[in-house]
Structure 1
Amino acid sequence: MASETESPAEGVLIGDEATPVDWADRPEATDEIFAQVSQVQTVINHIHGNIGGASFGISGSHKSRRTSGPVSQHEMAEALTCYVRHDSYRAAAERLESGNMVALIGNAGTGRRTAALNLLHDFVGTRCDVVELSPANTLEQLAAREVWKAPAYLLCDWPRDDVDGSIADFHVREIRRRVREAGAYLVITGTATSLPEREQIRWLSPPARDVLRAHGVAPEVADQAAAQITPDHAMADVVTLARDLASGGPLDTALSKLESAGRRDVVAWFEGPRTRGELFEMAAMAFTAGLTEGRFESLLARLESIAGIGVETADPVSADDPMPSRRLLRVAEGSLLRLSSGRRLKFKVEGHRTHVMRELYRRHGMRLWDPVSEWLHECAALRDPSAQAEIARGVAILASVSDYSYVESTFLTPWAKGSGVMRSQATAAMAISWLCLDETTRSEVLRTVGMWTRASAARPKFTATLAWSGELGIRFPQEATRMLWLQIKDSDKPVRPAEIALAQLFTALTEATGNALPMLDLLVHRISNDRRIGRAIDPLIRAILSVLTAQEDGVGIPTVTVHLRNRRDSATPLAKLWSVVLVKRPHRREALAALYNAVCAFDERADGDRDCVRALFAALVAALPAKERPLLAHDLRRYAISRNTDENRLEILLSLLRVFLSPAVLSLDTIGMRPCTTP
């Protein structure tokens, strides 16, 4: 296995102090690694709606995946439905009323976020425009924040700052003063905080029976159901149960769904007599579930070799010795495992993967985890995208049941800094995407990747670039855009990975949320305020072009086309970005090609699509200098003819080009009408 991870022929070798420009010589390697991270993001997008406790054993809130910015009205409405105001809630309300801020400190899955939204709604009522702040803010940064324009602010899953108590007290007084002077309210949630004790409310979830009754469940049914609810069940599980019962579903059926989030079968398996071979096999499954049976056995064999299992003794092995049917035993009656289509090994219940990881970590020490850790380091550096993706998911699950700092120091940062072929960096970035699904680790991950971004060495910086292009960027689009932009702006050499990451982020945001406006607006602001001229601004222009030419999987419909269909109001920022590139003569042809491809990807027969194109061209008229419009019309006409454009599309393009010569035609319904032969 060592030869697989050290062969320079299979990848790109970069020294610890090398710079990202080294990757410019091997763009195919960079593309391959970004494609790996993108594939994991596609999986996350596909299952996100159902991830909940089934994958991580945490609250499965279906809120917007953006973790900063305005809270959607849909999420507010969901939070307010049938909410139970209990003792912890009333104590928090009193604290918020007296000081304009309060921190709800408790375990994940206890309904802290929903409580925070209800508190803010209670205090600001119909003018409730809740803005969620990024957990990347430190206590000092929050105290220095001058703008508190919204009436209500939410700061979820805020990690503890390592600050002295007296300094924390000073910062808190400053935060409260600014919030109160603005007439605003701030609610913070977390599992631990640097805030003084008097600012905290020890948060406990509402009694399960009260939640069931609030949803209209009959008293006797609520009593029976509440008796089956344990502390392992997240508040989201209780709400789901309540809705199932309130809709008339049978109690047994509803409870069977609840039981799938439990760990009874897993605990029973571990409490039985288990051999070292069985334990290491279960550990391998916890990290590689979903691989084909053959690939799993290959990886398991390496783990058993590291653990010293099956080492031959001096005694000869007879051909007549019995050989158990291991494959059959692995998926036999009473096993936790099953074979799916394509002979892929999986857990019978998806949630069992989390519970197996928890029991392994809780019951076993270094005799198990030292060999497993060594094995994971080898697996992370394999040239095996499927295995790397599952290892990344497994490590994220381990963080959810153990301690994030242990996972970060043992796996994530060593992989980000890894030597040899740049493969463990991809595994670390994929793990970051999975960790973003867990509310208990999301803010910690944000700070870790921020630290990698600011590193002087190329390897952690490159890993951060990969991470920003995935789920982390979807959760924190402005932070991701700002960090990637700074990488490009502050480098005196080409930073192709950051350009690719910006394009990937634009596509990821569009696919996952349908809204990349925070990213586009920030790019417009940054490029508009940059005073560089000539070739000095070329890196930023290339970065803008990477966004305008982005495509799903590199070959699909242009992302700008998809985004304009979702959000027609994005025509203005997109046009501003295009105008910046179009006026740069060395980049005009690339910008024209991107504009042509985006327009031709619309359906000329659909009224909605034609309106999108009209909006884009109208925005371009407003964004471009007047002297540039006829030049652009001429160049775009020549480019369209050179592409052998079919007659229908050429008609539309030529009619739109009239806009650049006479913007007044925007008021006429000329789209699709036969125009003059020359613009």
Structure 2
Amino acid sequence: MNEEQSERTAQDTLEPTTQPSAPDEAEPRTPEPTQDPKRPDDSEEPAKNTENDKKEEKEPPTTPAQVHHNNVNQYFYGALDASGSLFGIGTADSGNGARRRAVGRLDAGEADALLAPYVRPACFEEAARALDEDGVVVLVGPPGTGKRSGAVALVDAVATGSDHVVLSPGRSLDDLAGGRVAFEKGVGYVLLDRMNEETSATADFDWRRVRDTVREHGAYLVVTTVHPVGAQVESVRHVPWRLPDLAAVLRVRLRRAACAGDTVERAVALMPSGCTVTEVAAAAERIARGADPAEVWREYGSSAAQPVREWFAEERSPQEWVQVTTLAFVTGAGYREFETWQEQLAERVTPVFPEPPTPEQAALEAQRVVDIRLSLSRNALVAVQERKHGALTRTALVFPQPQYRQWVLEELWAKRSTPYWDGVRDWLTRLVAGRPGLGLQLSVAQGLALLALPAFDEVVESYLHPWAAGRAGPAGQSTATLVLQCMCLDESLAATALGVARGWARSSDPMLRSTATSAFSGALGVRFPTDAVHTLLRLILRRDGRPVEAAYALAGLVAVLAECDQDTGAVFRPLAYQMRAQRETRTGPHKETVLDTVLTVLRARDARTGRLVCTGLLERDARLSERIGALWAGVLENRPRRGLALRGLYAALRDLPVVTARPQPVAERFGRAVGAALAPDERLRLTAPLRQVAAHPDEATAELIEIFMTAVLSTED
């Protein structure tokens, strides 16, 4: 199986139907525009070679929105401490959740991590029989019941091969049945958190087509979803999924970590009710590292929510309601900033509280409305944290326990009516529209991501969609992007975030498409790289789109994938295909757009180091040299873009000594890759212009240029 793709799209005739090696699910085929963060820009700008170059090398300006989105994505990856305890959602290692892909082939390490401590629930055998007999089974159950690990365990138990592939949750039944997924014999496929589709009269027929396709290829498919289906679907069994024995799950994990027997039994005895599989796994990891079980369990299951529920069970003043609401969205602010936002929220929500019916009660209420800061000190849900900044100490208002934030939002949503939430919406919209700074934007985004758990429709309709459409200005767009990034940290919300962004990308509203572009160039693109590249490429080639913005987004995605040590081939493979498809075309808008996109991606720079991203990839992954070399060759052969391409090529060679201690072999390998892709006469034409662009390079760079050019010219046809 080759490296091109793990899925194929039958209707997309632009790309050959080869099968892939590893796995990023499917290869994107058609492009469109979006918006990106990292704008490539070479620091050295030698003189142009021709008048034609002067005309053609004028680069489009970077808009403020592009810069702002770039800052947002960089802030998310550079400054966010996204531990599971911060959000109260996701897996134990959710801090890294957005830094790894959620689709593609599971490597041995990933599979072992899921299967080694796995405990089968009672419903496992029923699902295994269905999978063995039909080739397809659907697991239905709420988040936290272990459907993900159960799906992998099922294909591992039933499939004849050892390969397991995770498909995008955006795959439709038509995709699965119509040949857009390259099912392979003996391979087990898992589609996690399948997006809800309207149940139609043809649902049973659609599922039957999926079953027949999977059977025909000798593969196995497990689908998980939280959406039950009607009785009309009989062709594929939908098995209600149940929690395994959580005590057994805890024992297995602690014993595997070599914990003492008394520690294991004490941890089991203290485990509270209401835990999910994910929470048990996270608690077991902490206990195995030496944490006291009694302290650990205070943060999970019913124990975590109890103090918050007790606080809300008592009669509370309007001021106290406003305090906890403000803290839910403005966490970590200092006193002055917090009090300012609290007063502004109070203006909008206090009128919804009923007036005291008697003068005596009014007087009593007035006594309770004391100085804001004094009242905060008496609120059991507000804590003061001292944060060190060098020699200085900063005071920050936070919840006593990070997990309280999730439960506070759930209680607020359950107990406050629509007029109250209308006030919260207006307050947050004004806050975000005022460009409060990335720190406060991130805090708001975290709060909305948590609110999405009990009130997803409210978050989408009152915040995400209006802000993404520009109603709160550029800062609103970038905050909407941050909400989706935060949702990616939770296994149960990541697929939902993908669905929201895909909807924006398909919209006729250019502002929504612009926000989708930014979202796919960050954490969402890392989690779902195939979907991101497919969407961005479609936007790049869309007639009414903004290809420059989407090309920057694709360049930004490459930089983020490289930073997270993920497969950048998810971008380079389809770009190389698009370049090959356009090679025989003399000219035209499609070819021009593809060339501009390729040049933008190749010249993308790391926002922290300022070095070309592709240079580091040449050193890191020798397998990418051929594709990157082919892309450089494609833009070098295009005369109008040759000047920019030469300067980018020079910058790539100049950066090599910085990214590797042995740049000479990398330069030689790079040269052979470029030479192999260039037409013979173009190889000879490259030498003089490259030396002219280099002007007076330092000794190390001059040596690398000579090595590179020697490799180019020595390439045999």
TM-score by length of 1: 0.85
Quickly say closer, same or farther: Cα 1:496–1:252, change in 2 above 3 A: same
The equivalent of 1:579 in structure 2 is 633
Q: What CA distance in whole angstroms lies between the structure 1 residues aligned with 2:218 and 2:168?
A: 21
CA 1:257–1:448: 2 relative to 1, 3 Å: closer
One-letter code aligned to 1:526: Q
User: Deviations for 1:443-484, whole angstroms, at most 9, x for unmatched residues?
Assistant: 232222222212222111111111111111111212212222
Instruction: Give 2:119's aligned residue.
Output: 84
Amino acid at match of 1:394: G
Report whether the alignment pairs 1:326 with 2:358: no
Higher relative contact order (CA 8 A, sep 6+): 2
Counterpart CA distance in 2 for 1:458 and 1:113 is: 36
* Cα pair 2:34 2:536 within 8 Å, conserved: no
Deviation at 1:221, TM superposition (A): 5.1
**Is structure 2 residue 393 aligned with structure 1 residue 393?**
no
Q: Which position in structure 1 is the counterpart of 2:615? A: 561
Q: Which of 459, 481, 490 does residue 407 from structure 1 map onto?
A: 459
C-alpha contact 2:635 2:645 (8 A) present in aligned 1: yes
Query: In 1, Cα distance between the equivalents of 2:643 and 2:113?
Result: 48
Find the aligned partners of 2:502 and 2:183 in 1 and give their Cα distance.
Answer: 25
- The answer to whether the aligner puts 1:279 opposite 2:321 as a matched pair is yes
Partners in 1 of 2:608 and 2:544 — Cα distance? 27
Q: Distance in 2 between matches of 1:449 and 1:258?
A: 31
Write the distance in 2 (CA, Å) between the matches of 1:149 and 1:618: 34
Q: SS of 2:459's equivalent?
A: helix
Give, as a single letter, the amino acid of the residue that structure 1 aligns with 2:341: L
Please state how far the C-alpha of 1:154 moved relative to its aligned partner. Answer: 0.6
Match of 1:203 in 2: 241
CA distance in 1 between partners of 2:478 and 2:291 (Å)? 45
Indicate how the Cα distance of structure 1 residues 362 and 492 shifts in structure 2: closer, same or farther if over 3 A, else same: closer
Query: Aligned equivalents of 1:299 and 1:613: distance in 2?
Result: 56
> Where does residue 90 of structure 2 map in the other structure?
58
Output the CA distance in 1 between the equivalents of 2:628 and 2:370. 64
Write the distance in 1 (CA, Å) between the matches of 2:412 and 2:466.
22
Whole-Å separation in 2 of the counterparts to 1:245 and 1:59: 15
Structure 1 211/654 Cα, relative in aligned 2: closer, same or farther at 3 Å? same
Distance in 1, matches of 2:409 and 2:218, equals 47
The corresponding residue for 2:250 is 212
Q: Which residue of 2 aligns with 1:6?
A: none
Following the alignment from structure 2 to structure 1, what is the Cα–Cα distance between the partners of residues 449 and 291? Answer: 34
Which residue in the other structure is 1:133 paired with?
Answer: 167
Q: Say whether the 8 Å CA contact 2:506–2:513 is kept in structure 1.
A: yes
Displacement of 1:328 after TM fit?
5.0
> Could you say which residue in structure 2 is the equivalent of 1:163?
199
2:66 is the counterpart of 1:31: yes
Cα pair 1:415 1:428 within 8 Å, conserved: yes
Partner SS state of residue 483, structure 2:
helix
- Inter-CA distance 231–399: structure 2 relative to 1 (3 Å threshold): farther
Q: Out of 50, 68, 71, which is 2:103 matched to?
A: 68
Q: Which residues in structure 2 correspond to 1:552-631 (within 5 Å)?
A: 552-553=606-607, 556-603=610-657, 606-631=660-685
Q: How far, CA to CA, are the matches of 2:77 and 2:126 in structure 1?
A: 43
Q: What pairs with 1:490-529 in structure 2 (closer than 5 Å)? A: 490-491=542-543, 495-529=547-581
The SS at the match of 2:328 is helix
Contact 1:621 1:629 in 2 (8 A): yes
Match of 2:341 among 280, 299, 306: 299
Segment drifting more, 477-486 vs 528-537: 528-537
Deviation sequence 1:357-392 (CA, Å, 0-9, x none)? 111112222243121122122223222233333222
1:539 match: secondary structure: helix
For 1:606 and 1:646, the matched residues in 2 are separated by 17
Which position in structure 2 is the counterpart of 1:181?
216
Q: Partner residue of 1:316?
A: none
- Deviation at 1:75? 1.0
Measure how far apart 1:305 and its partner are: 1.2
Q: Contact 1:68–1:132 at 8 Å: present in 2 too?
A: yes
Q: Which residue of 1 aligns with 2:304?
A: 262
- The 1:533/1:345 distance shift into structure 2, 3 A limit, reads farther
Q: Which range moves more in the overlay, 563-572 or 413-422? A: 413-422
Q: Are residue 338 (structure 1) and residue 384 (structure 2) matched?
A: yes
Residue matched to 2:190: 154
The Cα of 1:258 is off from its aligned counterpart by: 4.9
The answer to whether structure 1 residue 538 and structure 2 residue 592 are counterparts is yes
* 1:325 CA displacement: 5.0
SS across alignment from 2:452:
helix
What is the deviation of 1:345? 2.6
Bigger CA drift: 76-85 or 344-353? 344-353
Equivalent-residue separation in structure 1 for 2:368 and 2:487 (angstroms): 44
Asked whether 1:384 is paired with 2:436, we answer yes
- Does residue 47 (structure 1) correspond to residue 93 (structure 2)? The answer is no
The alignment's C-alpha RMSD in Å is 3.2
How far did 1:53 drift? 5.1
In structure 2, distance between residues paired with 1:60 and 1:248: 16
1:256 offset after TM fit, Å?
5.4
Deviation at 1:218, TM superposition (A): 6.7
Instruction: Give the letter for the 1:281 counterpart.
Output: Q
1:228 maps to a residue whose letter is L
Q: Deviations over 1:399-422 (max 9, x none)?
A: 02x132332122211222234744
Q: Deviations over 1:618-657 (max 9, x none)?
A: 21121111211121122112212x2x32112212222321
In structure 1, which of residues 339, 342, 347 is the aligned counterpart of residue 399 of structure 2?
347
Distance 2:78 2:141 in 1: 31
SS in structure 1 of the partner of residue 304 of structure 2: coil
- What SS does the corresponding residue of 2:221 show, helix, strand or coil? strand
Conserved 8 A contact 1:65-1:475: yes
* Residue identity (%): 27
Match of 2:481 in 1: 429
Q: Which residue of 2 aligns with 1:675?
A: none
Asked if 1:482 corresponds to 2:534, the answer is yes
Tell me which amino acid in the other structure corresponds to 1:202: P
Number of residues paired by the alignment? Answer: 631
Contact 2:34–2:517 under 8 Å retained in 1: no
Structure 2: give runs of 5+ residues left out of the alignment: 1-32, 36-58, 356-366, 388-393
Offset of residue 323 of structure 1: 9.0
Cα–Cα, structure 1 residues 156 and 608, in superposed 2: closer, same or farther, change >3 Å? farther
The one-letter code of the counterpart of 2:449 is A
Structure 2 distance, partners of 1:358, 1:592, is 56
Distance 2:148 2:399 in 1: 31
Give the unaligned 5+ runs of structure 1. Answer: 1-18, 314-320, 665-679
1:421/1:259 Cα in 2 relative to 1: closer, same or farther (>3 Å)?
closer
Look up the match of 1:652: 704
How far apart are residue 261 of structure 1 and its match?
A: 8.1
Counterpart residue type for residue 321 of structure 2: L
1:439 corresponds to 2:473: no
Cα distance, 1:183–1:576 mapped onto 2, change above 3 Å:
same
Q: Which whole-Å CA distance do the structure 2 matches of 1:429 and 1:242 have between them? A: 33
